Amino acid sequence: TDDTSIKCSGAWYINWPLNSQYATYPEEMVECDSIVGNFMAIRNSTAQKLKYLFDEKLFITFDDCELCIRVKKYFKKKKVVFAPYIICYHKSNSSTSKVKDFVNYCCYRNSILVFKQYAPKDIRFLIGVIIICVRLIKAILLRDKMRIKGYLDGIFSRVITQNGYQK
């Protein structure tokens, strides 16, 4: 395999006060906040209790993160665990490389949507507003139209469909 087929999965940790996420690739099994998932396993009994598996609003990015956060939130005794010895070969970006701008847009928008829905209430408003404003100002200064659009759509919970926006 080439390098694009290796380490597509990892353990994600969320820093809610900074509205940021970071991935690690540990060599031992670890409990984490989320799994960067091109391959995930979930118990059938847990899946049956969920209303849905993946949030359709989070198309392409953060759907795996949202699922893990939701499982940990609603099933207090459940753990999200990254197991590095389970190997799944995945051609990285093979399905998204042709639509990179759209993937980036989804990443910006979905990070805001997940933060708004799951960040602890005590930091969601004040810190969230500050962080999101700083990100938006930075995007404006960089004249990054895709990032600006993604952040604004995340702030206003707008979802793009083939027919335009859907609330």
pLDDT recorded at residue 41:
87
Residues 6+ apart with CB under 8 A from 143: none
The predicted-structure confidence for 55-84, as pLDDT tens digits, reads as follows 988 878 899 999 999 999 999 889 999 988
For 17-21, 48-52, 57-61, 63-67, which range has the lowest pLDDT when averaged over its residues?
17-21
Q: 49 near 60, Cβ under 8 Å?
A: no
Query: pTM score, two decimals?
Result: 0.80
Whether residue 23 is predicted with pLDDT greater than 90 in this model: the reply is: no
Helix (H), strand (E), coil (C) string for 85-108: CCCCCCCCCCCCHHHHHHHHHHHH
For residue 84, the SS3 value is coil
CA distance 5 to 22: 20
- Top pLDDT among 95 and 84 is at 84
CA distance 72 to 84: 20
Q: What is the band of 144 on the pLDDT scale with cuts at 50, 70, 90? A: very high
